[in-house]
Structure 1
Amino acid sequence: MANGMKPGQNTGKSGGIFQEHGPRGGAKDNFATVADNKPLPPTTRPGNVWTPVHTTPDSSRK
């Protein structure tokens, strides 16, 4: 996956809902909600990656 993020990688400002994908791009039935600047959780198998499904919007509060 070109846009995949590895487990333990920091989300930065791109927190939101992530779906697990296999090494050849197949979608798995595993989703995770991760806040901004937090590490991604482990995947069910080695070699799988997380891909963003929905990114949370940036806050307009100052």
Structure 2
Amino acid sequence: MTDSEMITVSEASTVSGYTPQHIRLLIRQGLINARRAGGIWLIEASSLSNYIDSNPKPGPKSDKPDA
């Protein structure tokens, strides 16, 4: 992937291992950059890569600070 490359939700799902529904959730939450083009979402590959590199943990978040 190049920095300026745009990929589809399906491609993002394959690259990341997340479901297409989760990719769309990340778009809605503004956690990855994407734009609509002709009825499909195009995701900035670098934005997805940065999100994956941030190592997000699934599941509910604790209110307690890490010890």
Q: TM-score range by the shorter chain?
A: under 0.3
Higher relative contact order, structure no. (Cα contacts within 8 Å, ≥ 6 residues apart): 1
Give the strand-richer structure, 1 or 2. Answer: 1
Q: TM-score, with normalisation over the residues of structure 1?
A: 0.23
